[in-house]
């Protein structure tokens, strides 16, 4: 089966073509360029048998993606979080309100770490820090502004802070570096605190998976071991598609025999 997986985020669309469960092609582009997909990224892409996606960018963006998919005549399946799926139990107060990208990332994380606690840190426009216990239950997580949102908020709410982007310093001595270093400390501190809390809850150190387009900016400042993962949401989407196909196949066989 040729499966096209789509991760539509707040800033970018990431996609991957899975053939037999293995990524054969992939790419990413900013949302403003979605209307060029068939002329660029997908120009020579063979028709997929199935399309599955996660979308957190809203209905208008979804429709633009679907316009590009129309060439293949395959209706996309946009996921929502379930109470339980693929070995993960959703501990959100209202499970369906958990972001579909977070749900897919948690499912991919459970596949990678099937027998212990895991912390999933995704660094993008927003930063999510989600905790899976050793039984595969999503016990909760944080949503924190990403680097850009932090700087935008400070510039919008404070006079005189419109300065060039800075660098990280342990003890910043100018405003640009103070802003960047403050963001790094805020995100690294939140991640380290959640890792400690999850370790206390489970009595063992969790594995940490680090993902997202801005993950390389945070990675050097984390004081614990982690594994960088390029396409965690896309991996999770592929796992969901595979699991749902296995459930559907016996049903189709029964229907065909009636």
Phi-psi group of 135: left, alpha or beta (phi > 0 → left; psi -120 to 50 → alpha; rest → beta) = alpha
* Residues in CB range of 13: below 8 A, 6 or more apart: 6, 7, 28, 29, 30, 31, 34, 65
Tokens found for residue 204 = 């063992």
Positive/negative CA dihedral, 140, 146, 151, 152: negative
Catalytic site includes residue 101: yes
**Inter-residue contact 144 to 157 (CB < 8 Å):** no
Choosing from 7, 93, 101, 134, the catalytic residue is 101
Written as six digits, the tokens of 112 are: 């990678």
Active site residues: 101
């Amino acid at each position: 089966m040729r499966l096209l997986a789509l991760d539509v985020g707040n800033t970018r669309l990431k996609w991957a073509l899975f053939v037999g469960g293995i990524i054969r092609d992939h790419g990413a582009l900013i949302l403003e360029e979605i209307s060029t997909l068939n002329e660029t990224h997908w120009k020579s892409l063979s028709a997929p048998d199935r399309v599955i996606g996660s979308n957190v960018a809203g209905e208008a963006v979804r429709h633009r993606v679907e316009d590009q998919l129309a060439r293949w005549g395959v209706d996309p399946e946009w996921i929502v979080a379930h109470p339980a799926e693929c070995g993960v139990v959703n501990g959100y107060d209202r499970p369906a309100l958990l972001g579909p990208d977070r749900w897919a990332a948690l499912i991919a994380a459970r596949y990678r770490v099937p027998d212990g606690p895991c912390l999933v840190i995704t660094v993008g426009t927003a930063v999510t820090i989600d905790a899976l216990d050793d039984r595969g239950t999503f016990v909760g997580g944080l949503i924190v502004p990403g680097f850009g949102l932090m700087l935008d908020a400070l510039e919008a709410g404070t006079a005189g802070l419109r300065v060039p982007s800075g660098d990280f310093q342990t003890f910043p001595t100018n405003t640009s570096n103070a802003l960047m270093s403050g963001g790094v400390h805020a995100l690294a501190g939140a991640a380290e605190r959640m890792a400690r809390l999850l370790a206390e809850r489970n009595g063992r150190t969790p594995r940490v998976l680090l993902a997202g387009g801005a993950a390389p900016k945070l990675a050097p400042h984390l004081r614990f071991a982690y594994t960088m993962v390029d396409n965690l949401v896309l991996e999770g989407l592929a796992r969901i598609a595979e699991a749902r196909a296995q459930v559907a196949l016996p049903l189709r066989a029964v229907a065909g025999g009636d």
